[in-house]
Every structure is written in structure tokens, then in C-alpha cells.
């Protein structure tokens, strides 16, 4: 039953991807309905009595679920059709992943309340920086289109979506707003992981690949915000930092867990 609902969510997302921009109200309603269904099915699949299902697919699905919400809210203030055609297909793919890679159940008995807060904050951090990465990709495409588009050539549907985006300066302002909020949440994630490591994972803090990648990503986003504040960094520099930081963060959790769970078949907490 849950697998069927995950597939239905994916079909809704894919359908909204290809709806014409003129159907804005319909897109908004269907995306909201798909988002609510996605959240409900994901909750039912992940949260059990005194246990929690964990795994790279759940993290990725939850991350894209929050990212869809961020897109939906932003799209009410700005026309972000370009973001729609990037986020929704990825959300459709992420929605069905838990049915293919179910992860493993972790008992909550004896776990500190900090454990759940750490998971929630980390998902929000990854989600915010994911939508920031989508913004950065759009800005790269938007800037490229401004410089290379030949006159008189009819734009395709994706080109038209890019043309409907806000001005680059507005997109840049949105990007740094997302990065600042995501950096704040990532800082809370790192601090809770370091300070409460023994309560969270029943073991002392250690420098493993996940920690190193997370700290490196945190440092890159922090350096970007500092450079923006004191050196006025923007444009290609900002986009390069954003995409590099996001790629490293993706490796920190999703990439490493995929290898350990799917390739090496290890059960993880």
C-alpha cells in the first residue's frame, strides 16, 4: 500500500513538472496535495512504535520533501518555474527510494530526546542547502542564457521557464538568505553531534569520514558568508562555493550511507 502511495506522489510531482506555466494555480494546488501525501506516507513509513527507520533513502526523501515546501513558499512571492522543473523531478525520484531501499529500524528505547532533535535539525539543514544548490544551478543557467542566447531563436519550455525567473540580483539575494539559514542549522547539527555524541550515538565523538565531510562543508559555507560580508563575494565565486559545499555535504551523509547500506550491506544507526 505504501509503495503505491509513494509512486502516486512521484506521478503527481512529475505531472506538475510538465504543466504549462500559465496553470500556476493548478500547479500550486497539486504540488501542495502531493507534498501533504508525501509527508504522510513518509511519516507512516519512518516512524514506528518506539522505533525509527533510518537510511540514506529516508534522509534523501525527507530532504526533498522539505525542499518542495521551500519551493512552494518561494513561488508564492516570485515566479520560479525554473526551480519547479529542477526540484519536482528530483522529489519524484526521492519519493520512491524508500520503497526500494527500506533502510533499517532503530529502537528509540533509551535514546535521549536530543537524538530526535538532532535528526530533525540535520534534515532541515540539508534541505535548506539543497534548495540553495538548486538556486545556484538556476543562476548558472540563467547567467549563461543571458550571455549566449542568440537573437530570434525560439526558446524551449525550459528556456521559457528560465526567462520567467526573477532578476539575477534577486536570485542572488534569495540564495544568500537560504545559505545563511542553512549554515545556522548546519552549525546546530554539528554542535549537537559533537557535544551530545555519547547521548546521540552511545559512543564518544570521533573523526570519521562523515564528520570530516560535514565539517569541510560547514567551513566552506561559513567562508562564503564571511567573504560575502567583508569582501563582497558574489557571482561565479558564490555559485562555486555553494555547489562545492553542497556536493561535499551530500557525500557526508547520503553518499556514505549509500555505500555502507547498499554496497557493503552494513546495518547503521
Per-domain boundaries in the chain: 1-263
Structural contact between residues 35 and 65, judged by C-beta atoms closer than 8 angstroms: yes
Q: Given a cut of 50, is residue 152 above it in pLDDT?
A: no
- Comparison of pLDDT for 49 and 249, the residue scoring more: 249
How far is Cα 267 from Cα 247, in angstroms, rounded to an integer? 24
Residue 222 has pLDDT above 70, yes or no: yes
Out of 36-40, 115-119, 159-163, 209-213, give the one with best mean pLDDT: 36-40
pLDDT the model gives residue 79: 72
Look at 103 and 169; give whichever has higher pLDDT: 169
Instruction: Count CB-CB contacts under 10 A for residue 148.
Output: 7
In this structure, are residues 124 and 42 in contact, taking their beta carbons and an 8 Å threshold?
no
Question: Does the pLDDT of residue 201 top 60, yes or no?
Answer: no
Three-class SS state of 185? helix
For residues 263 and 142, which has the higher predicted lDDT (pLDDT)?
A: 142
Q: What is the pLDDT of residue 9?
A: 92
Higher pLDDT, 62 or 260: 62
Can you give the pTM of this predicted structure? 0.78
Q: Which three cell numbers stand for residue 100?
A: 526500494
Assign 105 to helix, strand or coil: strand
Q: Which residues pair with 51 in a beta bridge?
A: 48, 107
Amino acid at each position: 500500500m505504501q509503495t503505491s502511495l509513494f509512486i502516486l506522489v512521484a506521478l503527481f510531482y512529475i505531472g506538475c513538472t510538465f504543466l504549462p506555466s500559465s496553470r500556476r494555480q493548478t500547479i500550486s494546488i497539486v504540488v501542495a496535495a502531493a507534498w501533504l501525501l508525501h509527508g504522510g506516507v513518509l511519516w507512516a513509513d519512518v516512524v514506528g512504535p518506539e522505533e525509527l527507520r533510518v537510511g540514506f533513502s529516508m534522509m534523501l526523501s525527507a530532504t526533498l520533501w522539505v525542499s518542495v515546501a521551500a519551493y512552494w513558499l518561494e513561488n508564492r512571492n516570485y515566479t520560479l518555474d525554473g526551480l519547479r522543473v529542477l526540484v519536482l523531478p528530483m522529489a519524484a525520484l526521492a519519493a520512491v527510494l524508500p520503497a526500494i531501499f527500506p533502510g533499517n529500524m532503530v529502537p528509540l528505547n533509551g535514546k535521549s530526546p536530543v537524538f530526535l532533535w538532532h535528526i530533525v535539525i540535520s534534515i532541515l539543514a540539508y534541505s535548506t542547502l539543497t534548495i540553495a544548490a538548486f538556486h545556484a544551478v538556476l543562476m548558472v543557467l540563467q547567467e549563461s542564457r543571458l550571455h549566449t542566447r542568440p537573437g530570434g531563436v525560439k526558446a524551449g519550455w525550459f528556456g521559457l521557464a528560465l526567462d520567467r525567473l526573477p532578476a539575477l540580483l534577486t536570485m542572488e539575494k534569495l540564495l544568500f538568505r537560504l545559505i545563511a539559514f542553512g549554515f545556522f542549522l548546519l552549525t546546530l547539527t554539528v554542535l549537537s553531534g559533537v557535544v551530545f555524541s555519547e547521548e546521540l550515538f552511545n559512543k564518544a565523538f570521533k573523526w570519521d569520514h562523515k564528520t570530516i565531510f560535514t565539517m569541510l562543508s560547514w567551513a566552506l559555507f561559513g567562508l562564503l558568508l564571511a567573504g560575502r560580508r567583508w569582501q563582497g563575494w558574489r557571482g561565479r565565486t558564490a555559485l562555486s562555493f555553494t555547489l562545492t559545499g553542497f556536493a561535499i555535504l551530500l557525500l557526508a551523509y547520503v553518499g556514505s550511507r549509500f555505500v555502507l547500506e547498499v554496497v557493503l550491506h552494513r546495518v547503521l544507526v
